[in-house]
Amino acid sequence: MLRYPSLSADNYIRNRKAFADAMAPGGMALFSSNDIYPTGADGTLPFRQDSNMLHLTGVDQEETVLLLFPDAHNPADREILFVTETNAEIAIWEGAKLTKAQATNQTGVRQIQWVSLLEKTLQRLVTESSCCYLHQNEHTRASVVVETREARFNRWFTETYPHTRIERSAPILHRTRSVKSEEEIERMRHACGITRDGFNRVMRFVKPGVTEFEVEAEYLHEFVRKGSRGFAYTPIVASGANACVLHYIENSDVCKEGDILLMDVGAEYGNYASDMTRCIPVSGRFTDRQRKVYDAVLSVMRDATKLLRPGVSLHEYHKEVGQLMTAQLLGLGLIDKHDVQKQNPAWPAYKKYFMHGTSHFIGLDVHDVGLWHEPIQSGHIFTVEPGIYIQEEGLGIRLENDIVVRDQGFDDLMGDIPLDAEAIEDAMND
């Protein structure tokens, strides 16, 4: 029994068609699975499938290759999925792999071949194609320091077929992957629901003297028991001054009376991510100062959410959020009008206390792909996560929900997770 049901084959058929429609005439595209990465001795890291393979097929299995050739002369060659040949011994040691029939039922690809036939098939089809689309990680934040299976495959292909014109698949995928189907949205809503359950558990658990890693363990326990494989990303559980370190992941300190505990966590479900940030008072009650800063961040968050609408430029969106934050910081007395008047437009005054962006795409990856230079579309899902970090006070507040942009308004996937300060205090003191 799987932890989660597969998305429908229709979902993957739709995704492949969207990619195929954007290809050049006569083009062929190839996509490969991720590696299984070694640790030491005979150890390996848990397998995480390539997100593009998940987007196009849903196949969560190593050594898988997808070939798309919409203009192939033979209709049987227009979509081919290559999977690892299974047998009884593999099933005993590792568990059963997909059969050809199962692969077709899950993906909607009718032509399934064993991966051992890949090279022979390519030799036959390359001469018929006008170009080949290959993929590499072009995420703006990517820093790839290992040679991936994808990179090895691309090098092998270009060396084997040096006269084939190569095209990039990333620009197409960044556009098509960013617009989520209703099935994908419901999957992410479920991930957010698991995150909600974890947060509700933690609010009852936190008190002075617990460690940050104990809080992390409470989340993990709830996530796994609800069918998640765990965190969608490395969790941040930061108490006191640690909350002013944006990517604090040590999670090793003791939560002290009077501290704020910032938790940037999210459950993964069915390969889709959620991303939530909440801040709670370790003692169960906010101080007056903490409450003022908290309410300021919450005000920016709510107003920023309303700004996410189709047709809006992400650049202009972030600029407008900066103005919202400037007003709140002025109200808190953290900056004054002279700071604003003399500010550097490239690094406005508010950046002293709010130095990161407000929103990013989210989906199969927590920092999902998308085209930042194009207007927002209905079906895009963004985080909204403003924050104020006052290092001199050891006080950091960040709040974050996952938002679906709709033609009319928005859909808050975390709308049922406690957010108001009063609701948090009530839950912690119930």
Catalytic residues: 42, 247, 264, 275, 356, 360, 367, 385, 389, 398, 400
Report the distance separating Cα 365 and Cα 51, nearest Å: 7
**Distance between CA atoms of residues 280 and 308, nearest Å:** 26
What is the Cα–Cα distance from 98 to 335, expressed in whole angstroms?
A: 60
Dihedral (CA of 206, 207, 212, 217) sign = negative
Beta bridge mates, 30: 67
Cβ–Cβ < 8 Å for 197, 265: no
What's at 135, amino acid-wise?
H
Which pairing describes strands 131-134 and 166-168: parallel, antiparallel, or unpaired?
Answer: parallel
What is the spatial distance between Cα 295 and Cα 424, in angstroms, rounded to a whole number?
A: 13
Cβ atoms 64, 80 nearer than 8 A:
no
Q: Which residues 6+ apart lie within 8 Å of 292 measured at CB?
A: 332
Q: Are 67 and 28 in contact (CB under 8 A)?
A: yes
- DSSP category for residue 356: S
- The Cα–Cα gap between 16 and 350 comes to 43
CA angle 30, 177, 364 (to 5 degrees): 95
What's the CA gap between 290 and 294, in Å, rounded? Answer: 6
Contact 195, 417 (CB under 8 A): yes
| Through-space distance between the first and last CA atoms of the chain, rounded to whole angstroms | 37
Distinct helix (H) and strand (E) counts, the chain:
13, 17
Contact 294, 397 (CB under 8 A): yes
